[in-house]
Amino acid sequence: MLMTRGVSDAFLAVSASASSRSLVVPALGTRRRFFSTLLLPSSSSLSYSSSFHFGACRRLARRASTMDGRTVVRAAAPAQKLENADELIDSVETFIFDCDGVIWKGDKLIDGVPETLDMLRSKGKRLVFVTNNSTKSRKQYGKKFETLGLSVSEEEIFASSFAAAAYLKSIDFPKDKKVYVIGEDGILKELELAGFQYLGGPADGDKKIELKPGFLMEHDENVGAVVVGFDRYFNYYKVQYGTLCIRENPGCLFIATNRDAVTHLTDAQEWAGGGSMVGAICGSTQREPLVVGKPSTFMMDYLANKFGILKSQICMVGDRLDTDILFGQNGGCKTLLVLSGVTSLQMLQSPNNSIQPDFYTNKISDFVTLKAAAV
């Protein structure tokens, strides 16, 4: 059994068996509950045409999710190419979009995005934007959307930086405890907004360790959680400090915003993602993190609770199989893979790939072009 100790009497236990894994979350006072075990689509999701009936049935027995950000994958039928955009649009109330590789690449907007979002809004669809990138806060992401000419409110944006702070609030993390951050400004701003004490972040980016004989590195024994996200200022000081907190502070949580292998810092190439920073801390602590970003169901549960959304009425749109598509499948949603980011058609159709979305298409503007072609 893998055990992640929480603050006071809170803990998360992940048990593994040959066919499934389950999450155990003990009650903790008045904490809010945003967690789910395997959530199956309601019977209403089976009432569409044969293609949608096929997709819904396939989801019924597909996945069991855990909060370490990994999923037991069972065999699935091949994804269908999206041919009837109207049918998918009409079958759901909410579209959740990943950002990097779906809306933009680096700081460049992907063609056709504004028209597509305007069309969906005109049909009364709720739009939500979820990103594993923790470098910005929701407010900072709002400014990026604005800079790119997109009208998106802060309430429609959910970054993994926000998810880390929301998770700590959901477990009533003590306000007299501190959070050590291996990550960037977005995490710090969300922790501050949530009223948590923190240290680390970019301020530790220039710190170095002088390894003299007998040198002992001190750390704050009042740190009750270490949050690890993407960090362009990652260094050995941060690795050692985070390691000491997790290994030596009783009950210290190890929280990861995501485990993404790569990210889009520019539109020219892929760059090492937050998973590389998380992996370093996993290696030094011999602990698995609690993941609050995709594909963990925490953000999905949070969104469903906040907006009162039936998960069977959601379509998750993303460019990554192991985060975006699993995120949707873990929550019992419809899933659409776009080939404008990380995943190519060859990767999707590879015999080695066991993650199959309900549908795939080239980019989200196909919602508009496929509609036009059908007229």
Cα separation, 48 vs 54, whole angstroms: 9
Does residue 139 sit within a domain? no
Measured CA to CA, the distance from residue 252 to residue 271 in angstroms comes to 30
Are residue 185 and residue 268 in the same domain, yes or no? Answer: yes
> Is 303:326 a contact under the CB 8 Å cutoff?
no
Last residue of a domain, one of 291, 310, 333: 291
The alpha-helical segments, DSSP class H, found in the chain are 50-60, 85-91, 113-122, 138-147, 160-170, 185-193, 236-248, 274-285, 298-307, 326-330, 345-348, 366-374
Residues 302 and 229 in one domain: no
Residue in the structure block whose two tokens are 């985070």: 242
Residue 373, pLDDT score: 59
Q: How far apart are CA 5 and CA 8, in angstroms?
A: 9
- 137 belongs to a structural domain: no
Q: Is residue 149 part of a domain?
A: no
Identify whether 31 is part of a domain: no
Is residue 9 packed enough to be buried (19+ CB in 10 Å), middle (13-18) or exposed (0-12)?
exposed
Cβ atoms of 262 and 272 closer than 8 Å: yes
- Over residues 196-230, the pLDDT tens digits come to 999 999 999 999 998 899 999 999 999 999 999 99
**Residue 219 domain flag:** yes
Domain of 247? 172-291
In the chain, the N- to C-terminal Cα span, in Å, equals 56
Q: Which of 93, 115, 154, 270 is catalytic?
A: 93
DSSP 147-215: HTT----GGGEEEHHHHHHHHHHHTT--TTSEEEEES-HHHHHHHHHTT-EEEEGGGGTT------TT-
pLDDT tens by residue, the chain, 375 residues:
333 333 333 323 333 333 333 232 333 233 333 333 322 233 333 333 334 333 443 443 343 344 555 554 455 789 999 999 999 999 999 999 999 999 999 889 999 999 999 999 999 999 999 999 999 999 999 999 999 999 999 999 999 999 999 999 999 999 999 999 999 999 999 999 999 999 999 999 999 998 899 999 999 999 999 999 999 999 999 999 999 999 999 999 999 999 998 887 777 888 899 999 999 999 999 999 999 999 999 999 999 999 999 999 999 999 999 999 999 999 999 999 999 999 999 999 999 999 999 999 999 999 999 865 555
Q: Do 185 and 278 belong to one domain?
A: yes
| Cβ 182 vs Cβ 44: under 8 Å | no
Asked whether residue 287 falls in the same domain as residue 303, the answer is: no
Helix (H, G, I), strand (E, B) or coil at 44: helix
Beta pairing, strands 126-131 & 94-97:
parallel
Same domain flag for 107 and 202: no
Shared domain check, 190 and 277: yes
pTM: 0.79
CATH number at residue 180: 3.40.50.1000
Q: Please give the mean pLDDT across all residues of the chain.
A: 83
pLDDT score for 266: 76
Residue 300 and residue 287 share a domain: no
Distance CA 104, CA 98 (A): 9
Residue ending a domain, among 244, 268, 291, is 291
Q: Classify 226 as helix, strand or coil.
A: strand
In a domain, 121, yes or no: yes
- Of 155, 230, 225, the closest CA to residue 186 belongs to 230
Note whether 302 and 272 are same-domain residues: no
pLDDT at res. 68 = 55
Last residue of a domain, one of 291, 325, 342: 291
Q: How many H helices and E strands in the chain?
A: 12, 21
Domains held by the chain: number: 2
Is 93 tagged catalytic? yes
355/284 same-domain check: no
> Beta strand pairing status for 223-228 and 178-182?
parallel
Cβ contact 67:230 at 8 Å = no
240, part of any domain: yes
**pLDDT tens for each residue of 272-289:** 999 999 999 999 999 999
Task: Kindly give the pairing relationship between strand 197-200 and strand 2-5.
Answer: unpaired
Would you state the pLDDT for residue 46?
30
302 & 261 share domain: no
SS3 category, 29: coil
- Residue 26: the pLDDT is 31
Q: Is residue 20 part of a domain?
A: no
